[in-house]
Structure 1
Amino acid sequence: MKIFGVVGYKNAGKTGLMERLVTEITGRGFRVSTLKHAHHSFDVDHPGKDSYRHRDAGAHQVLLSSRTRWALMTELHDAREASLEDLLARLDPVDLVLVEGYKRDRHPKVEAYRAETGNPLIAPDDDTVRAIASDAPLDVRQPVFDLNDTKAIADFILSEVGL
């Protein structure tokens, strides 16, 4: 599987870019999966639902299934957070995995950047950032794309990974 990341600080446009890239790249006939890192606790389950009650009772894993999708939830308790490599190994094979976050890992990335946030760029100090998707002109060594030019960003990513 080919892997390419989207990184950036909060409110830089990462999730919107990810969404547009998935639509663009799957529209070209490629199979795409996504993996997103959350810096906080999250839950895909809700109190009162059967699967939540199973986890709350102490189940290590709960697999929830229907005819349209399935989800496997694993409670880490005091175990270490799974690495990107560990999580990628759990995905079914696809043409491309787009990873949101994991900015310190060594896979190739595009940085989403919005000037109005006032955050610094990640790219100048990180050689894994291959390009920047920005809402403002930038003077950097990497190629800079308009943040909303999804087609050009998708072309760049697919070229970088050899698809």
Structure 2
Amino acid sequence: MSQELPFRVVCLAGPSDSGKTTLVERLVPRLADHGRVATVKSIHHDIEIDTPGADTHRHRTAGAETVVGVTPELTFDVTTRGKRDPPDRPDGDAVLEGETDDPELRALADTLERLEARGYAFVVVEGFSAAPLPTVLVGDRDPSAVGGPVVGRGADDLETLVETIRGLDPLVDRG
């Protein structure tokens, strides 16, 4: 698969327990047949994903803004700049409409830029319903409650959703 595939992003929006994560689980393997896939999950409460006392946790609490852990099977990074305090964009260019005024959108835009730079073809975003991204509505979410254009519904045929996502305009022009 070529690393030069367009960078396409879709948001899944719906109420809690509406089936968003289940839809992510169904979409990811199908999209992976066509390019590298990453996912982004909006979490509305703080969780500790790095075990207190572990070396990576100690690096982070010592003041590192980003800590990268490399294990025999996984590589992970923990960055201290979440939704409450996302980094400022040095060049001032917004990736997402409205991001300069909304810290949550700035955090999402920063994440999407990193994933684009890493060569992903697709990103499936779960949550972030206010983001101005093409959106698949899951459950009873009203179309007026999302920030992007509605491109599908969670109840749509899986292959139809995959083809819709593959046909989205790229978020970032790599040309």
**Given the superposition, is the C-alpha separation of residues 29 and 130 from structure 1 closer, same or farther in structure 2, using an over 3 Å criterion?**
closer
Give distance in 2, aligned partners of 1:157 and 1:79: 30
Q: Which of these two proteins has the greater Rg computed from alpha carbons? A: 1
Determine if contact 1:2/1:97 at 8 Å carries over to the other structure: yes
**Given the superposition, is the C-alpha separation of residues 58 and 152 from structure 1 closer, same or farther in structure 2, using an over 3 Å criterion?**
same
RMSD: 2.4
**Given the superposition, is the C-alpha separation of residues 76 and 18 from structure 1 closer, same or farther in structure 2, using an over 3 Å criterion?**
same
> How many Å apart are 1:48 and its aligned residue?
3.0
Give distance in 1, aligned partners of 2:169 and 2:66: 34
> How many Å apart are 1:124 and its aligned residue?
4.5
1:107 matched to 2:107? The reply is: no
Unaligned stretches of 5+ in structure 2?
A: 1-6, 87-102, 171-175
> Who is 1:129 aligned against?
150
Determine if contact 1:123/1:132 at 8 Å carries over to the other structure: no
**Cα deviation per residue 1:43-76 (whole Å; 9 max; x = unaligned)?**
3211232212333344333221124322221223
Q: TM-score, normalised by structure 2?
A: 0.70
Give distance in 2, aligned partners of 1:154 and 1:25: 6
Identity of aligned residues (%): 29
**Given the superposition, is the C-alpha separation of residues 60 and 12 from structure 1 closer, same or farther in structure 2, using an over 3 Å criterion?**
same
User: Larger strand proportion, structure 1 or 2?
Assistant: 1
Determine if contact 2:151/2:164 at 8 Å carries over to the other structure: no
Q: TM-score, normalised by structure 1?
A: 0.74
Give distance in 2, aligned partners of 1:125 and 1:57: 40
> Who is 1:84 aligned against?
108
